[in-house]
Amino acid sequence: MSPGPSFILVVRVSVAASRRDGLAAALGMGCGGLIFAGLALAGLQALLMQVTWLYLVLKAAGGAYLVYLGYRIWRNARESLAVDESAGVARGWRRSFALGLATQISNPKTAIYYASVFAAFLPAQPPAAMFWTLPPLIFAIEAGWYTLVAIAFSAQAPRAAYLGCKAWIDRLAGAVLGLLGGKLILEALRAKV
């Protein structure tokens, strides 16, 4: 629930496009969590500990994606938004879903978080029921949280506040994403040296 790239994205999509787009992005976040939960159960942490360069590549690629998102948000900060109140025509729910999924998957800290938590609390050989229980539970938690965010920020008052201060909010959001991405890239480069 801590604010990060995923939170910023769902808020921005919910406000800028529509509630339907925000919910689609939330669903993308949930699917990304589902993928990471499955990978974590399959031994992602063990793989990343054995193949350290893979972790660095994931970190740098995730950082580059966040820098790219931050740049796009920053660059378009002054452009006015054509907010369409009808069922998500402004962006398209498929695009919002894909953007949510890509943002979640590009965040290596999410992968490491799930892998670490699962490694710490699950037995070395988890029972088969865990493979059928944990990923859907993670999906429900991720999608549920971001659904609440999408509903809250697609309401009239938050939307009006955002649109009134769009340039400042977008510049701040773009800068935060760019800095987070830059930090990931720097950490990957330092670890390589």
**Residues of the domain holding 39:** 5-192
Mean pLDDT value across the chain: 82
Terminal alpha carbon distance of the chain: 33
pLDDT at 45: 63
Dihedral (Cα; 157, 104, 184, 7), 10-degree rounding:
10
- Nearest to 96, CA basis, from 154, 158, 57, 175: 154
Which pLDDT tens digit goes with each residue over 151-165?
999 998 988 888 888
The tens digit of pLDDT for each residue in 111-133 reads: 777 766 676 667 767 788 888 89
Return the sign of the alpha-carbon dihedral for residues 138, 146, 23, 113.
negative
Is residue 144 over pLDDT 80? yes
> Higher pLDDT residue, 131 or 46?
131
Residue type, 173: A
Total number of domains constituting the chain: 1
DSSP H/E element including 48: helix 44-50
Quickly count: other Cβ atoms within 10 Å of residue 190's Cβ: 9
